[in-house]
A and B are shown apart, each in its own frame.
Chain A
Amino acid sequence: MIDDIVDKITMLLQGKIPSKIDTEKLDNENECEFSKKLNQLIDFMQEIHEFIIPLSKGELHDIKVQPGNYLASPFKELHSRLVHLTWQATQVAKGDYEQRVDFMGDFSEAFNAMIIALDQNEKLLKKKIDELEKAIFHIVKLEGILPICANCKRIRLEGAPYDKQESWVQIESYISNRTKAEFSHGICPDCIKKLYSD
């Protein structure tokens, strides 16, 4: 009897699940009681075994430990936290950056920092896209045929009446208002000759 028990406990210590003791065959009351407790321990360890192996592979669903298996409690807690983290990660994937992981030590810190960084990066990206869209809008405004005065080179504003002088603006003003370009004034060699030929 003792040898059998030692073998079973040795197996448990080695992470193996031994067969249970047949208590029906025992006459001694103490041995019977002890064997029932050992059988319960074997049941608990088997259940933990069947729970923790899929869990270690990331299989979080369809695994359960029956109530009353207190040895498995920390594993159930771990399972619960992993399920919660899975939900959190799914939310982040959907673009929900409101969630935070609480009280999970270093993991909380790393995960929350990741969410904040993703949020900031997305906001930065959206800002850049917005700026680019605005730039494209201005570029588009400079496309097409511009009505320009053949003599003074003023440009007529879009939709403005042809015969009103205020409809016509300097080309520098026209371009400056539609782009980020600025003008600095100088005189080209041909014009210098014309203006200062003497």
Chain B
Amino acid sequence: MFKEERNFNRFTWKDLGDINEGRPNLGLTVPVFAYRLLQYTFRDVLITELGIEKTNDIIVRAGKLAGAQFCMNLLNRELDFNEFVAQLQRVLREQTIGILRIEKADIENMNFTLTVAEDLDCSGLPFTDEVVCNYDEGFIAGILEAYTGKLFSAKEIDCWASGDRVCRFDVREVRTDK
């Protein structure tokens, strides 16, 4: 199931299992450092094996899978955009994933600027002059893809790690020329 050879993604929410049943004593949550240990050790090894570009691409794609499943399982996709954004902000806060703040929303052109404060990926990282939230990029794009049914790209333009104290993303629909 998790280990068979394949060339397509098959991850779904139920692959996460019944955490309540499996962790009756330790519960649903873990410290943020456990999340970062996983992500940054993966990143470290992937860079040595595949290089930076491929590594970033893999992390974005994984984030997209997660974002789409998150949207399909925890969010109501029937809401109109404003209600959906309010819901997303609330759920991200309740699940302690991050503090979402919209700065610009051009619904007609499907172009958004948003920030995520206190995010899991990078808040508190040492300053390195890099933007590092590739998983968040994918996660945000995945949520919007699942909500709208259209292709999205999210590009981080400011990051805690680049000294900005907040992660800002430019999110837009990917329009393919027919």
Chain A interface residues toward B at CB < 8 A: 67-70, 73-74, 76-77, 80-81, 83-84, 87-88, 91, 96, 98-100, 102-103
Query: B104: which A residues are within 8 A, CB to CB?
Result: 83, 87
User: Which of the residues B89, B105, B163, B168 comes within 8 Å of A80, measured between beta carbons?
Assistant: B168
Other A-B pairs beyond A83-B104, A103-B99, 9, CB < 8 Å: A73-B163, A77-B166, A80-B115, A80-B166, A87-B104, A98-B85, A99-B86, A99-B89, A102-B101
* Interchain nearest-CB distance for A164 vs B (Å): 51
Complex partner residue of B164 from A76, A91, A103, CB under 8 angstroms: A76
Residues of B within 8 A of A (CB): 82-83, 85-86, 89-90, 93, 99, 101-105, 115, 117, 127, 129, 158, 162-166, 168
The interface residues of chain B lying within 8 Å CB-to-CB of A84 are 101-103, 115
- Chain A residues, CB < 8 A from B105: 87
Inter-chain contact B90/A67, CB cutoff 8 Å = no
Chain A residue, CB-CB nearest to B167: A80
Q: List 23 A-B contacts (CB under 8 A).
A: A68-B129, A68-B162, A70-B163, A73-B164, A76-B165, A76-B166, A77-B165, A77-B166, A80-B103, A80-B158, A80-B166, A81-B101, A83-B103, A84-B101, A84-B102, A87-B105, A98-B82, A98-B83, A99-B85, A100-B89, A102-B89, A102-B101, A103-B99
B158 touches A76 (CB 8 A): yes
Q: Contact: A68 with B86, CB < 8 Å?
A: no
Contacts of A96 in B (CB 8 A): 82
Q: A69 to B165, alpha carbons, bound, how many Å?
A: 11
Could you tell me the distance in whole angstroms from the C-beta of B77 to the nearest C-beta in chain A? 16
Residues on the B chain within 8 Å of A80, using CB: 101, 103, 115, 158, 166, 168
* Pairwise interchain contact A102-B99, C-beta atoms closer than 8 A: yes
Contacts of B102 in A (CB 8 A): 84, 87-88
Residues in A with CB closer than 8 Å to B85 are: 98-99
Q: Closest CB-CB distance, A196 to chain B, in whole Å?
A: 70
One of B82, B115, B168 near A99 (C-beta < 8 A)? B82
On whether A69 and B103 interact (CB within 8 A), knowing A96-B82, A100-B90, A102-B89, the answer reads: no
Nearest Cβ on chain B to A27's Cβ, whole angstroms: 31
